[in-house]
Amino acid sequence: MNRIDRLSAILIQLQSKRVVTAKMIADRFDISLRTVYRDIRALEEAGIPIGAEAGVGYFLMEGYHLPPVSFTKEEAGAILIAAKLAERHADHSIQHHFENALFKIKAILKIQEKEYLNTLEANTKVLTPPNKPLRNNSFPDHFISDLQTALAKHKVVSFEYFSTYNQNLSHREVEPVNLCFYSNHWHLIAYCRLRQAMRDFRTDRITKLQIREETYTPHKSSDHQKYVNNLILGTDLKKVIVQMDKRVALYLGDQKYYMGLIEEKDKGEDMEMTFMTSHMEYFGRWLLSLGTRISPVGPSLLIETMKALTSDMYKHYHKHSDKESN
């Protein structure tokens, strides 16, 4: 990126937040802090009213606004990808907002760029199955936008929640802490006043949601992050070591990180890979899918799990083989 483009991008970044630190700018453009200071001075010399607070960061003075920002066709294409993902992995409220945003983006594009985006839209698909709300029409699955508002403004939220373990509705008042997506669903992590503890609520099981006028003090980030990590990964993590052919290791890509990779060691033709897992059987079934070019090293629980799984598979298919021979 040349300097003129970078200066324009820095100006847009300054408008996007109340305060922007020099480090944020340096990290975004991969430049030194000294270069950031020079660029800020250049913008000031061009007449841009930039304020600065020692130890805090830079900001645009109140009342200054940039003219409407245009999009390149590549930027519009990136937003189209996000919109396609939203069709499958967001609730109805977010899908509606994304659709409106895409119409506004198209409206300001030039004719050639509109044709570019229309061609992409017609030939871009996300084929993963959509989130399916409960069949009961009482669960509209359109509250993520409201939950975002409550999170940003630290507002208490009340709603009815359907619990699968007892098949009942219960009234909850919560202090929203985090929205996260896992296991193919959006979840609200919140402090539940009924249970007086952090709880996980699937957003498609929420109904009759209301944002209260009451505000709350946000919980410490480390508290809810620890809860989320324990929720998704489990608390009883075990270390497992696997040796595998380098060709198999290369094939894994980012999948190895999803399975809990923490260390890799080069062993010549093989790689020794160390993982942390809380689900030994699930991990073992994943190893089976990699074929015969892997060898479990330890612990003994993993080896015994692999033996049991392969034994079950042998008995299953040997049984079917006997039926065919008869």
For 93-122, write each residue's pLDDT tens digit. 888 788 788 777 777 777 788 888 888 888
Domain boundaries, the chain: 3-60, 73-122, 144-232, 238-320
Pair type for strands 238-245 and 261-267: unpaired
Backbone angles phi, psi at 63, to 5 degrees: 100, -15
Q: Hey, how many other C-beta atoms are within 10 angstroms of the C-beta on 80?
A: 19
For 247-270, write each residue's pLDDT tens digit. 888 888 777 877 888 888 998 889
pLDDT of residue 160: 93
For 298-308, write each residue's pLDDT tens digit. 899 999 999 99
For 146-190, write each residue's pLDDT tens digit. 999 999 999 999 999 988 666 788 999 999 988 888 767 888 999
Give strand pairing partners of 295.
243
In words, the CATH class of domain 3-60 is mainly alpha
The CATH number that domain 238-320 falls under is 3.30.70
Model pTM score: 0.56
For 183-234, write each residue's pLDDT tens digit. 678 889 999 999 888 888 989 899 999 999 999 988 654 566 677 666 655 5
Q: What CATH architecture applies to the domain 144-232?
A: Roll (2.30)
pLDDT of residue 23: 92
pLDDT of residue 135: 45
For 45-92, write each residue's pLDDT tens digit. 888 899 888 888 999 887 776 666 677 778 888 888 888 888 778 888
- Whole-angstrom distance, CA of residue 184 vs CA of residue 105: 28
Backbone angles phi, psi at 206, to 5 degrees: -100, 140
